[in-house]
Structure 1
Amino acid sequence: MTDLNAVFSALGDETRRAILMRLAEGELPLSRIAAPFDMSQTAVTRHVHVLEDAGLVTVEKRGRVRHCALTAAPMSDAVSWLESYRPFWVERLDTLALMIARETNND
């Protein structure tokens, strides 16, 4: 089972979300992941470790190069958890729509 706290914590940082977006296009060496960010490779490595600890990324060392790949299953678990709240929000939004319609018709 996925540790949803770790997943949501990892996803709470925009740099880590950007890293995941880059990895969604395919596996990359750590140096290529770090290239577009205005921070040291060490700082990017720390972000990758957080993602790895949350199960969102796998890191494989080949020779001297660390290759990173996206692991989407933990995000799927997070989506499933969020999806369980859909009926709650649908009901609230339907109620809001009815209230707005009534207000508009009363004007």
Structure 2
Amino acid sequence: MIAISLDTDLPKAHVPVSNTQAATKAELGRLLHAAIINTHFRKLLLANPVAMIDRGYLGESFQFPGSVKEQIRHVHAESLEEFSSCVLKIIETPSLTEIAVLPYC
């Protein structure tokens, strides 16, 4: 039998920055699905995104980190495509703690 090592020096194709980022993207997906399904929810989401995130949809709640919700508060989009693009940029922008360079001891 030949032993195969899974350890390689090749870079990983895609590794999420954090589990929080992946979870936030999943929440964005859920939010967008609700907006696609229900035109009334979509209109309200575009008019006041944080209020609709807080309200939820059909008994389902949306869990976004407070820092992301605060930035979403400033999104003024005319379409769902524009909204999703803006929010995705917010989610994918590293926080200061993620980009901080720690000195080596």
TM-score normalised by structure 2 residue count: 0.30
Q: Which has the higher helix share?
A: 1
With a CA cutoff of 8 Å and minimum separation of 6, indicate the structure with the bigger relative contact order.
1
Q: Which has the larger radius of gyration?
A: 1
TM-score normalised by length of structure 1: 0.29
Structure in which a larger fraction of residues adopt strand = 1
